[in-house]
Amino acid sequence: MSHGELKRSLEERGRTLTEWKRFVRLGWPISVQSFVRTGMRTTDVIVAGIFGPAAIAALGLSNLYTRLALYTGIGIGTGSLALASQDTGSGADANRDQAVTQALLIGFVVGIPFTLFAFLFSEQALLVFGAPNEVIVTGAPYLLLVLGTAPFRHIVLIGEKSLQGTGDTMTPMYIRGGANVVNIVGTVILGLGVGPVPQFEVIGIGLATAGSNILAAIAVVLVFTTSWSEVNLVRPTDFTIAKQIVSISIPRTVEGLSTTAASFPLEAILITFGVEVYAAYTVGQQVRSQLTGPFARSYGVLGSILTGQAIGEKRIEDAHFSTAALTLFACLTIGVLSIVMIVGNEFFASVFSDDPVTAAAAQTFIIAFAIASPLEALFRSYSGILQGAGETTKPFIAELTGVFGLLLGITYVGGILLEGGVVFVYVAIISYNVWRFGLIYFWYNQDFWIENALRQLEVRGSIKSD
């Protein structure tokens, strides 16, 4: 290696380390917030597990419906994050305030139909799975409580992403982290009946979640209506911004909804393998979500923030370098955590259930999710990068084809038609993650998404054309 090549190599390493420090500075609040949020869900499953596999199944099936509201809020929040990050980079503060305000209004209104559905059809919604009556009776009140607070949950999700788009990752951590700690404590007290409080079991879990949703939404509104944040809520006037939010949000929302839609037949298939197998799948998912999920999600958000702001400032080469540094960082960190999952699969399974059939099946699911986790982290990273530029269609296509073609397709054909059973679910989990990462990486290596982002900035007047 020549002196010049050595110098360039050292410079690149130094620049990469600088980027990694930046990721840690921006990303640790996102990871902590996500870790606590996932910890809340983990607590839900552990508390439910005390009351048996049927209680875990009730939570799992009910949360399929709550995920509809979740992904809708995330979709609208993605649109707000993309515009907020780009307008922050270009210095268009007035457009940023319009984007955040309009996104919050859209999110609250869109959440109202979920509330109505929860009040009218909670029990009927669970009947479609053909689950035992015990699961339906246990799950319906929980679904009513959690899905009924969807408008407030949307406010939280959109407010969080809007703040992150401006580069503020601390405030969302305070809001959601604090609310989730309250949720965890509430789940233990109300679910198990600590002290003088009656034991509400799964209903107690739902009460704790609903309460935390409302509490966090109030905090978000206070942040935007006080001097805490530079973002100010304003009277909506520029509906070009609303159109762009919706156009970015729809593919992202449909991406999440398609995953949920595929989960309905997928989890109905798992139920046919036995309640214990379905509970084991839920445990495997939760272990993955708790250990690798917070980091994978933070990398996706980081990709959106860094890309959006870099494009707003027209620093395209910097955006590409940040991507390379981010994906390398993701591989290293998630790879280590995946090894921990594989080595500790028996321990993690035992934490959630003392039912021997459930625990044994959960061990294998944990290993399958561990193998897939690095691929999931890379998919989230590259998806976040494209979403920061306002490109949500390509991640949607990758998710749609992967979840229906591989995750559901392999499970149904191999597990049901070929009578291969649950082993094909393991194959499906890994294949699905390979496919969607491959597609998103292919699209990232083209420049259309950068050109589209610059054009949208010009349309809403956030930057001038050259």
Q: What is the pLDDT of residue 466?
A: 52
Q: Is residue 432 part of a domain?
A: yes
Q: Is residue 165 part of a domain?
A: yes
Structural domain range at position 150: 3-459
Q: Is residue 92 part of a domain?
A: yes
Q: Is residue 465 part of a domain?
A: no
Express each pLDDT in 123-136 by its tens digit. 999 888 777 888 89
The answer to whether 95 and 83 have CB atoms below 8 angstroms apart is yes
User: What sections of 148-238 are H helices per DSSP?
Assistant: 150-165, 170-192, 202-224
* Residue recorded with tokens 């989730």: 180
Q: Is residue 376 part of a domain?
A: yes
Contacts of 397 (CB under 8 A, 6+ apart): 439
Q: What is the pLDDT of residue 69?
A: 92
Contacts of 157 (CB under 8 A, 6+ apart): 70, 73, 74, 76, 77, 107
Q: What is the 3-state secondary structure (H, E, C) of 41-84?
A: HHHHHHHHHHCCHHHHHHHHHHHHHHHHHHHHHHHHHHHHHHHH
Listed residue (444, 73, 61, 41) closest to 257, CA to CA = 73
Tokens of 387: 């979403």
Q: What is the pLDDT of residue 73?
A: 94
Q: Residue 418: what residue type?
A: L
CA dist., res. 234 & res. 378, Å (int) = 37
| DSSP state string for 380-433 | HHHHHHHHHTT--HHHHHHHHHHIIIIIIHHIIIIIIIS--TTHHHHHHHHHHH
Q: What is the pLDDT of residue 21?
A: 85
Express each pLDDT in 312-335 by its tens digit. 888 888 788 888 889 999 999 999
pLDDT tens over the chain, length 466 residues: 555 555 565 557 778 888 888 888 887 888 888 888 878 888 888 898 888 888 888 888 898 899 889 999 999 999 999 999 899 888 888 999 999 999 999 999 999 999 999 999 999 998 887 778 888 998 999 999 999 999 999 999 999 999 998 989 899 999 988 998 999 999 999 999 988 888 898 999 999 999 999 999 999 999 999 988 889 899 998 889 999 999 999 998 888 888 878 877 888 888 888 888 888 888 898 899 888 988 898 898 888 888 888 888 888 887 888 888 899 999 999 999 999 999 999 999 988 877 888 888 899 999 999 999 999 999 999 999 998 888 989 999 999 999 999 999 999 999 888 888 889 999 999 999 999 999 999 999 988 888 888 888 888 777 655 5
pTM to 2 decimal places? 0.78
Q: Is residue 142 part of a domain?
A: yes
Q: Is residue 12 part of a domain?
A: yes
Domains held by the chain: number = 1
1 DSSP 8-state letter: -
Q: Is residue 44 part of a domain?
A: yes
The answer to whether 450 and 311 have CB atoms below 8 angstroms apart is yes
CA dist., res. 61 & res. 452, Å (int) = 39
